[in-house]
Amino acid sequence: TPDAAQLIYDPRFLKQKTPWVNEQPPISFRFPLYTTSAIAGEDYKAENLRGMTCPECGKCNARVKWEGWECTGCGFEHKPKITPLPAASIQDQNYPVSDAYPSSHDSALPHIKISVNFSHNYRWITYKFKVSATEEGEVVHGIANKVVREEVRGPNQMWEHLQTNCHGLVRRELSNALMNSFTMNYGMPYKFIAAGDSLPFTDAPWPVTEAVSRLNWADRITSGNAVKDKEKFNELYLVAYLQDQSMNYHDDGEKGLGSTVATLSLGGRAEMGFRPKSFFFHGMKSIDYNRKRMTVMTKDEPLPEFPNYELRKQYLEEIKNANFSESEEKERLAEMATALRAAYPPKQSCTRVEDWVRLSLGHGDIVIMRGAHLQKYYEHGVSPKGLMRYALTCRTVLPGHLKESELPDYEVDLVQDEYDGSRIAK
């Protein structure tokens, strides 16, 4: 073994290189630009959200706009022409439709009250949700048949028009990251958590104003009340979901909104689940009090279907009759939360909640949610079961909700109720 101390450094050793016959140059990080597919629907896959390395300046850019990619460094744009997906292509063979009233693929737990009506080629299913011992909210699912879908200026034509004539959709920033879906708001500004600019209805593609008119009509005929102008929907939030994109559980009960929310689903099939919020169902929530994080029992009235119903009623009666100070009450509520957790059977979650109702949303279906407390105590989420989908959701932004600086610089004219369902009356 040679003595390392006796070895003499020679730079020729480091410069010596034996060629390798299989050697290739490194792969370029400037990946080729996306080119549209000749196969309808391929352009709507979630993989097409990937970013772009600018071929001009080399900067990496996220895809923000629906129309394509734009470099924030040098301004280079890449807007490939998307191959539209015909309405006939989104028909799921497992869910055939005809001129007859459509069947339902919804599901609900046994304690949910359900009523069914038929009109205008829709099957209208109403699900009643208890929010207290005396108050209910409701969700109405209008299932469209072939006549509705093929109506003039109906779901099929709306779907095909939006794919090529709905510019301005963008991925908005949410918690320092971009949303997966593309969105745009029309009418009154909607102070959504991912805030963005709004456009007047006069600048919207015709399917937007058509959707507002249809949803106003659907709200009227399913509620039995003539909706006054001040109660009409004055805002529409358009969301474009690529294939396999979902919406996590949330509520639409932001402050300053009316008690009714309605949505029109266009495109691929999806499932919409409704469930009680965890704090309402389990009766526990985490709070910060005196610089300490603690789990306490809530003081919301439980329903008989909730776990530990009798125990929670007993605890609420104790809190009601006790003369606790604020700190004493918080400590007692924390003790009650501990007792509630201990009362659960082994392996049963004290946080998870299953869906009480699951709607199977098809192309052209309408969903109406009514009741302010429905949004307070229940939440809903959407999971895709098909190709790309549009959700056109209407709300009523109440007067005085927005600050003067938040008011739009355009006139928000209500969409007139031109749609009356006469073309699909049955």
Sequence ranges of the binding site: 241, 250, 380
Alpha-carbon span 244 to 102, nearest angstrom? 25
| Other beta carbons within 10 Å of 298 | 18
Residue ranges of the binding site for 2-oxoglutarate: 241, 250, 380
What is the DSSP-derived secondary structure letter of residue 257? B
Q: Taking the mean position of all CA atoms in its chain, how far away is CA 118?
A: 28
Q: How far is CA 98 from CA 9, 26, 34, 91, in A?
A: 86, 57, 38, 11
Alpha-carbon span 51 to 25, nearest angstrom? 24
Q: Rg of the chain's alpha carbons, rounded to an integer?
A: 28
Alpha-carbon span 232 to 220, nearest angstrom? 10
Residues 126 and 218 sit within 8 Å (Cβ to Cβ): no
Q: Which own/partner pairs from 67-70 qualify as long-range (CB within 8 Å, at least 24 positions apart)?
A: 67/167, 69/33, 69/34
User: 261, 208, 255: which is closest to 398 by C-alpha?
Assistant: 255
Alpha helices in 4-109 (DSSP H): 11-15
Alpha-carbon span 374 to 395, nearest angstrom? 15
User: 271, 259, 272: which is closest to 394 by C-alpha?
Assistant: 259
